[in-house]
Structure formats: structure tokens, C-alpha cells
Amino acid sequence: MLVSILPLAGLGTLLGFLLGVASRVLYVERSNVAREIEELLPGTQCGQCGSPSCGAAAEAAAAGELPPAFCPPGGRAVAEAVAGKLGLPLDLASLVDEQPRLAEINEDICIGCTRCYKVCPTDAIAGAAKQMHVVFADACTACGKCEEVCPTGCIRLVPVTETLQSWAWNQPSL
Amino acid sequence: MFSPRLRGGVHPPGHKELSNASPIRRFPMAERLYLPLQQHLGAPATPIVKVGERVRKGQLVASSQGTVSAPVHAPTSGVVRALAEHTAPHPSGLPVLAITLEPDGREEWDPSLAPVSDPLALPPEELCLRIGSAGIVGLGGATFPAAVKLGSSLKRGVDTLILNGGECEPYLTCDDRLMREEPGNIIRGALLMQHAVQARRVIVGIEDNKPQALAAIRKAAEGQGVEVRSVPSRYPMGSQKQLVQLLTGIELPAMSRAADSGVLMHNVATARAVYQALCQGRPLISRVVTLSGQALTHQGNWEVPLGTPASYLINYASGFDCAPARLIMGGPMMGIQLPDLNVPVIKGTSGILALTRKEINTDEPGPCVRCAGCVRACPMGLQPLEMAANIRNGDFEKARSLGLDDCVGCGACSYICPASLPLVHLFNYAKGELASRQREARKMEKTRALAQRREERLVRQAREREELMAARRAAAARKAAGEESPS
Amino acid sequence: MSDYVLMLVATALVNNVILIKFLGLCPLMGVSTKMDGALGMGLATTFVLTLAAAASWMLENWLLVPLELEYLRILSFILVIATVVQFTEMLIRKMSPSLYQVLGIYLPLITTNCAVLGVALLNVQEGYRFIESLLFGFGSAVGFTLVLVLFAGLRERLAVLQVPELYQGTPIAFIVAGLLSVAFMGFAGLA
């Protein structure tokens, strides 16, 4: 019996030793996937995914705690990029393909409290105390932070109205 | 004669005989004209008239805005009744801002419009400017502002001006009639454009299914240094790439403008509009429109004031024989399907077609059988079936790598497809999707920069506040020390 | 020399490890959806198979036969193969992180790829010399990679086509694999 155990044990020890050496030589630092993912994200720290910041969300996605389609403002493009980076299949069902929206201020009830433009992560709202506030459509990411802090409920996220310039052909049914 | 082999193309039944025998008639003024501010590619024009204002015929009512744009002129004298949204002649059926004009029937011309006595004596730049201020756009259907095209060609220096008399779209005969009836004006317009871009030669290309137009233009061009050539009838012969290759032997590279290869192409109707603008002082306020299709009682060609509602045009000129199965503005291959007739005739309206059920393909799309008929038909040498398969699968980037950007949307593939697949619709969908993704990516880039700047500002503000507080504390401490030391 | 070339052709094409001997079908269905992944998997398996063939030959002839421990053959071969796979995994992770992501779970599964163990055992059964077993391992691996890449190319095209609902996904892949196998049987005419 010993004659069969010993060679096998010896073989195992030898191979284990070789692998140990190899793992030292071929040591890879923790991959910078998280940082690469963060670069793909909008970077507005809007918090819609539930993480406090884009950096934290990227960490979570790299660790597999968030699905690739976690970023609502990034939409399909970001989801595809993240899925490609992680080598994961993309589950588009989890991505609610919402219509693009924009914040809109109801000028009748805006009291000029300045709270909204202080929280706007992209400086998309301009205004001054006791003055009307305005949303710059180009910079608004529809994160909804302003909606939350508005004391009078005058800010709402409304779907973007389609114009001749933004209109595109729909998908033909096949 | 040097005749390069042309790729692709289809031979749809022409149906030109429906309307090519009827001469161009002047269409009377409608009760109301709707002048969309966007009748061209590029930025919409800005209205410069007020509601209630009286305007004269030919008066500027909306000025161009930005580099790629075109102004709009009043087609008749009358009163501006509204500046409101009206259904656009566009596949979306979305509204567009339009000036509503109520004609007063007096047809008073704007006195400031005066023809140039000798336009050929003007410097080329001046000619381009005048063509631009007359609101002239490409009348073949692309509606690209003519002055912009001429101006950039002048800067780049082109060798050949090509006049496009192909009119390869079935049904349409407006260019055919125009060439038969006003060949002299077309040739004069071509010579003016030749001067505007300083081209060495002018070639007119006309499909061989229009022998009378060919003869008329040949006669008018005699001794003018303009070459007139007959080209085989094959759709899409009127496409820039096809015609340029056939007439000059130059194959335009993908994703480049014709001017880069020293060629400029304009429609024959555009040449006539240039002539009218410079020699008659008449800006672009009307155009020839073909009314055709077997659902109509009387097919024909009409010189229609821009802004005339399509419903008015059809009711006055023809009326329906039977309920049309499909209404199309433009040609049947590349035109747009109209949801209803409540849209105005604009600068790019080459025809209004009312087709019966027999004239259109109503088959449900079936599965692709990979017959590759579309590959043979594609004038751009693409593989529509592969592109379509990838688009259906959501892989737009793959479709783009197969040459989606080169697709001109001519419709030859959709026409030839035995499975009735809506190929061009798929390509338009993918193009729109890619464009919107690009827009989104650009916006994301911008908002990311904004967010970063905001973060930096917040950090800086916090630090400054901190420093201010520290300075104040230090000052207070000094003061306290100063008060203490003398005592 | 010509013997060796003949052997290479015979193992890669005529006696193709996947389509004729039906070994290693798991990666054939698993990592053949994308061309990149298939090529990566093929190269990784080539590396493992060749090394494992050499290592198992040495193990057999220098340890098991002298000590008359042939009954431990499968056990010890798996030990060696697992080591080689682990080593390959480290190597890929170091050299190509993206390939590492793409291969994912299939990389450690090379351990249980029956083609690897099968080739090692066949070497012993046929009584090949060292060079021959090395060539046999390499030739099999080349055949494996070839089939994987061919099949991935076919599947990439299948993915965008309108396959009848009944056959969508794996069923049509199996049918294609079967047809490919029939096609490879044609190489028998070379022999």
C-alpha cells in the first residue's frame, strides 16, 4: 500500500510546489476592472442605482453585486459596455427602457428657494434666491434629485417631446 | 464611349405615361398657404414677419439661420394669419412651425426684387450669395441648400458640373416636362451655376426613356458648350454616385462629398430656379409637382405655389377615382408616406401620388430566404440581407461595419425582396438608433464634465471657507494677543 | 519526417478528436457562441493538451511503469492535467485579462475535458514514443481548435438568422454539429 501512496503523495507535493512558484511568478494585482467600469459610467453621482456614487457602483458591479444594467441614466449603451467589460451576458429585461425625460419647472408655483440647483449634480438648473429657476435641457440627466428637494413640488420629470430633429424610425415588426 | 460598369439597380415599372403627356399648368392660389420654416436640410429659418402683417409676393418672410439653412419667401401677396404649428410633410407626421398666409388675390410683387441685368458679369461669390438668398434648395428631393453646396464647391474647386435629368423614380414626370417645356431656362441656369463654381465643363445626363426631353435639351444646349448625354434607364440612375460614375467615370469614394472628387451635381429643376432667381428676380416660391397614381382621376403636372395644402391640390386638380390605398409625397421608391393630405407642398415635393391597392405591395413580410437579390440590386455594393439580419438581432455596430453608413436608402433592395422584407425601414431604424446613441454618448460626456467641474468647485469652496475661517481665527487670536501684551 | 506530418494530419483531420472521436463535446457547445472565445479556448486547450501529453508520457514511462503502478494511471494523470490547467489559468490571467473574462468557467473545466484525459490515455494505449505522443497531443489540439473555430463561425451566423422557433438555440446547433461531423468523415478518404 505504501508503495502506491508514497509516489502519489510525492507527485502531489512536487506539483503543488511548482504551482506555488508559478503563482508567485505570475502574480496579478487585483484587476482594475472597477476603475475601468467607473470610466464608462455617466459620473454624475446621481445615486439612482442605489449606490452613493459612481465609484461605489463600479466597485459593486465589478464584484458582481450589481447586474451590468444597473445604471438608469446610462441606458442601453452603458449597460452593453459594462457587460462587455465584465464578460457577462446582458439581461436587457432588467433594464427598463424608459423614455428619455427631463426636469421641468412649473413657473407658477416655483418660489425661488434655490434648493434644487444646489443639489443638481450637473449644474443644469440656473437661478437665484426669489427668482425663477430654469432647467438647461442639454445638461439635465433626469436624475430626479431636484424633484425630491423641491418644497412646492413644482419640479417634475416630464418625457421629452419628440421633434422633427429628434424623431427616428421605429423598429419594424418582423 | 467610355462606359463603366454600374453596380446594382432595378427596373421598376415606370408608369410615366400616366402624367408625362400633360403639360405643366399653373395652379391657382389656395385659400390659405402654410409655409413651414423647415423646408430644407439644416437649421430651420427664423420668421421675420408678424401676425397680421401684409406681405407682397416674393417678400422674405423667414430668414436663414446658421451656415446650412435657407430662407422662405411669400408665394403671393396677402396677410400673415398665424405663426403656428402645422403637420409637416414628414414620415413622422409631427408638427412643424409654419407661417399661415391668406392670399389677397392681388399678386403684388415685392418692388425690391429686381433681376440682375448681366448675372454672368458678377463675381462667383456674389452669385452664390444671391442663389442662397433666393431660398433655392436641391429640388430633386434632398432639399440641401443650393448656395451651401455651390459655395463649398467653389472653395474646393470643381471641374465638372453635372445636371441631373435622370428622374429615375417611377411615376414622376415633373423634370421630364420641365426639360421639354423650358430647356432654354434650364441651360441658362446651368451656365449660371457653372460660373458660380467656375467649373470647366457642364454635362447634362438624361435617362433614355425621355427622348423628347433629351431632344429639347440637346437643341437648347447647341453652341453653349454644354454636353448632353443619354444614360440608360435604371433605378437609381438619378442617384449622385451612379450618375457621376456613368458620366465622368469617377467612382465617388464612400463617405466623401462629390466636391472632393471635383464634381458637383444639381437637379435640372434647381437650374431652372437659379435662372428664375437671377434673370427674373423671382425667388423660389413655386415648383412643378407631378400628380399621379391610378387612384386619381386626372394625372398631370402643375406649377404649384409653395405652401399649397396637398388636399387642396388634389381636390382642385383631380379628385379621386377610388379611395387611395397609399398617399405618397415624392416618388414611390424614396418618397414619404403621408398619413393624410393635410400637409403643404414644400420645396422638396416633386410629386404627390395616390396609389391603388394594385399598385402597392401589400404582402406581409416573410422570412429571408437568402436569395441575395438585394445584394445584386444594391447600387452601393452592400449586402442588405446581412445588414438586416444583424439589425434584427440588435447588433447595429456590426451592421455599420457592413456599410450601413453608405446606404442611401434608395429602396432597390426592398423593391426586389421576394419576402417583402422592409429592408430600408430596418436600415433607417438602425441609422436613427445609432445617431441617438451618439447623441446620448455626447450628452453623457458633457454631463460628466459638468459633474466633475461641480465636484471640483465644491471642494474648492469648502477649502476657501476653511482658509477664511482659519484666517479669521488667526486674526482674532492676534488681536487678543495684542490687547493682552501692553497691559 | 513524413511519418510525423502524416501523423499530424491524421490526428487533426482524419481522426478529429471532437467530430470523429466525440471527445470534448462540452466546450464545443459551451464556448462556441463567439469567435473570439472559441479561438481563445482552442489555444488554451492546445497549450494544455500538448503539455499534458508530454507530462503524462513522462509520468507513465518514468514513474508508473518502473514502479508497476499502472493501476494509478487515471488518478495520477488527472493530477498532472489539473496542475497544467491551473498553470494555464494563471498564465492567461497574467497575459490576457480580457480572454480570462471571456473564457470564465470553461477555463478550469479544461481539467474535466475528456479530450485531454482521452489523448493522454490513448498515448499509453498506442504505446507511442515521446515525440509521437507530443505530436499526437498537438495534432489533436489543432483539430480541436479548428472545429471549435469553424463551429463558432457557423453559430455566429446562425445567431442572426431566422431559425424556425422549434430549432432555435441548441437544437439547430446540434444539427449543424452533426452535419459538420459528416463533413469531417470525408477526410477518411485521405487515409
Residue type, B12: P
| Distance between CA atoms of residues C108 and C93, nearest Å | 12
Instruction: Please give the helix or strand (H or E) that residue A104 lies within, else none.
Output: strand A101-105
How many other C-beta atoms are found inside a 10 Å radius of the C-beta of residue A13?
10
| Distance between CA atoms of residues C190 and C7, nearest Å | 12
List CB contacts (< 8 A) between C101 and chain A: 85-87
Per-residue tens of pLDDT for chain C, all 191 residues: 788 898 888 899 998 988 988 888 888 888 888 888 888 889 888 988 999 999 999 999 998 888 888 888 998 999 999 999 988 888 888 887 777 777 767 778 788 788 889 999 998 998 889 999 999 999 999 999 999 999 999 998 888 888 888 998 889 999 999 999 999 999 888 76
- Can you tell me which residue has the cell 465617388? B252
Which residue, B58, B55, B37, B44, is CA-closest to B112? Answer: B58
Q: What are the residues whose beta carbons fall under 8 Å from the beta carbon of B371, sequence distance 6 or more?
A: B418
Among B231, B262, B289, identify where a domain stops: B289
Residues A42 and A65 in one domain: yes
List CB contacts (< 8 A) between C75 and chain A: 8
Of A4, A18, A28, the CB nearest to C83: A18
pLDDT of residue B485: 63
B367 CA: distance to closest CA in chain C (Å): 7
- Can you tell me which residue has the cell 494677543? B481
Which residue, B286, B343, B273, B309, is CA-closest to B74? Answer: B286
Which chains does C contact via 3+ CB–CB distances below 8 A? A, B
* Signed CA dihedral, B388, B389, B394, B399: sign only: negative
List CB contacts (< 8 A) between B421 and chain A: 174
| Distance between CA atoms of residues B331 and B350, nearest Å | 7
Where does the pLDDT of residue A72 fall: very low under 50, low under 70, confident under 90, or very high at 90 and above? confident
**CATH number for the domain including A112?**
3.30.70.20
List, as one string, the DSSP characters of C20-86: TT---HHHHHHS-SSHHHHHHHHHHHHHHHHHHHHHHHHHIIIIITTTT-GGGHHHHHHHHHHHHHH
Residue B257 lies in a domain: yes
**Chain B within 8 Å of C166 (Cβ-Cβ)?**
no
Which residue, B338, B315, B334, is CA-closest to B325? Answer: B338
The answer to whether the CB atoms of A28 and C97 lie below 8 A apart is yes
C62 CA: distance to closest CA in chain A (Å): 12
List CB contacts (< 8 A) between C158 and chain B: none
Q: Is B116 left (phi over 0), alpha (psi -120 to 50) or beta?
A: beta
Where does the pLDDT of residue A29 fall: very low under 50, low under 70, confident under 90, or very high at 90 and above? low
pLDDT surpasses 90 at A56: no
Which chains does A contact via 3+ CB–CB distances below 8 A? B, C
pLDDT of residue C140: 93
More confident residue, B119 or A93: B119
| Distance between CA atoms of residues A38 and A33, nearest Å | 9
| Distance between CA atoms of residues B412 and B430, nearest Å | 18
Tally the domains of chain B: 2
Q: Report the chain B residue with the minimal C-alpha distance to residue A139.
A: B447
List CB contacts (< 8 A) between A19 and chain C: 83, 86-87
Which cell numbers in the block locate residue B414? 426592398
Mutate to test the interface with A, among C90, C91, C92 (most CBs of A within 10 A): C90
**Chain C within 8 Å of B395 (Cβ-Cβ)?**
yes
List CB contacts (< 8 A) between B432 and chain A: 167-169
Chain B, residues 304-333, CB within 8 A of chain C, namely: none
The answer to whether the CB atoms of B92 and A164 lie below 8 A apart is yes
| Distance between CA atoms of residues B99 and C172, nearest Å | 59
The answer to whether the CB atoms of B90 and A164 lie below 8 A apart is yes
pLDDT of residue A112: 84
Per-residue tens of pLDDT for chain B, all 487 residues: 344 567 788 999 989 999 989 899 999 999 999 999 999 888 899 999 999 999 999 999 999 988 899 999 999 999 999 999 999 888 888 899 999 999 998 889 998 888 888 888 889 999 999 999 999 999 988 889 999 999 999 888 899 999 999 899 999 999 999 999 999 999 999 999 999 999 999 999 999 999 999 999 999 999 888 999 999 998 888 888 889 988 988 888 888 888 888 999 999 999 999 999 999 999 999 999 999 999 999 999 999 999 999 999 999 988 898 899 999 999 999 999 988 889 999 999 999 999 999 999 888 998 888 899 999 999 998 999 999 999 988 889 999 999 999 999 999 999 999 999 999 999 999 999 899 888 888 888 888 888 888 889 989 999 999 999 999 999 999 988 877 665 5
For B91-96, the CB contacts below 8 A with 24+ separation are: B91/A169, B91/B336, B91/B337, B92/A162, B92/A164, B92/A167, B93/B339, B94/A162, B94/A163, B94/A164, B94/A167, B96/A164, B96/B36, B96/B37, B96/B38, B96/B44
- Can you tell me which residue has the cell 441651360? B187
Residues B171 and B271 in one domain: yes
The parent domain of residue A108 ranges over 101-159
B35 CA: distance to closest CA in chain A (Å): 16
A162 CA: distance to closest CA in chain B (Å): 8
Which residue, B392, B444, C93, is CA-closest to A79? Answer: B444
Structure confidence by residue, pLDDT tens digits, A110-152: 888 888 888 888 888 888 888 888 888 888 888 888 888 888 8
The answer to whether the CB atoms of B440 and A174 lie below 8 A apart is no
The parent domain of residue B392 ranges over 365-487
Of A3, A12, A28, the CB nearest to C67: A3
List CB contacts (< 8 A) between B367 and chain C: 162
Residues B164 and B284 in one domain: yes
Chain B, residues 358-397, CB within 8 A of chain A, namely: 365, 392
Q: What are the residues whose beta carbons fall under 8 Å from the beta carbon of A160, sequence distance 6 or more?
A: A99, A100, A101, A102, A137, A166
Of A78, A164, A174, the CB nearest to B38: A164
pLDDT of residue B428: 94
pLDDT of residue B104: 92
Angle between helices C130-159 and C170-185 in degrees, nearest 10:
130
List CB contacts (< 8 A) between C166 and chain B: none
Q: Report the chain A residue with the minimal C-alpha distance to residue C86.
A: A19
List CB contacts (< 8 A) between A163 and chain B: 94
Residue A26 lies in a domain: no
**CATH number for the domain including B465?**
1.10.1060
Residues in chain C: 191
Of B368, B386, B395, the CB nearest to C162: B368
**CATH number for the domain including B275?**
3.40.50.11540
Q: Report the chain C residue with the minimal C-alpha distance to residue A8.
A: C76
pLDDT surpasses 90 at A156: no
Among B289, B313, B334, identify where a domain stops: B289
The answer to whether the CB atoms of C160 and B367 lie below 8 A apart is no
Which cell numbers in the block locate residue C46? 492546445
**Chain B within 8 Å of C160 (Cβ-Cβ)?**
yes
Q: How many CA atoms lie within 13 A of B253 on its CB side?
A: 6
Q: Report the chain C residue with the minimal C-alpha distance to residue B368.
A: C162
The answer to whether the CB atoms of C160 and B368 lie below 8 A apart is no
Mutate to test the interface with A, among C74, C94, C160 (most CBs of A within 10 A): C94
SS (H, E, C) chain B: CCCCCCCCCECCCCCHHHCCCCCEEECCCCCCEEEECCCCCCCCCEECCCCCCEECECCEEEECCCCCCCCEECCCCEEEEEEEEEECCCCCCCEEEEEEEEECCCCCECCCCCCCCCHHHCCHHHHHHHHHHCCCECCCCCCCEHHHHHHHHHHHCCCEEEEEECCCCCCCCHHHHHHHHCHHHHHHHHHHHHHHHCCCEEEEEEECCCHHHHHHHHHHHCCCCEEEEEECCCECCCCHHHHHHHHHCCCCCCCCCHHHHCEEEEEHHHHHHHHHHHHCCCCCCEEEEEEECCCECCCEEEEEECCCEHHHHHHHHCCECCCCCEEEECCCCCCEECCCCCCECCCCCCEEEEECHHHCCCCCCCCCCCCCHHHHHCCCCCCHHHHHHHHHCCCHHHHHHCCHHHCCCCCHHHHHCCCCCCHHHHHHHHHHHHHHHHHHHHHHHHHHHHHHHHHHHHHHHHHHHHHHHHHHHHHHHHHHHHHHCCC
List CB contacts (< 8 A) between C58 and chain A: none
Tally the domains of chain A: 2
**Chain A within 8 Å of B454 (Cβ-Cβ)?**
yes
Which residue, B83, B77, B72, B124, is CA-closest to B103? Answer: B77
Among A73, A94, A115, identify where a domain stops: A94
The answer to whether the CB atoms of C102 and A87 lie below 8 A apart is yes
A153 CA: distance to closest CA in chain B (Å): 24
pLDDT of residue A91: 65
The answer to whether the CB atoms of C160 and B389 lie below 8 A apart is yes
Which cell numbers in the block locate residue B225? 458648350
| Distance between CA atoms of residues A52 and A46, nearest Å | 8
Domain boundaries of chain C, sorted by first residue: 2-21+34-190
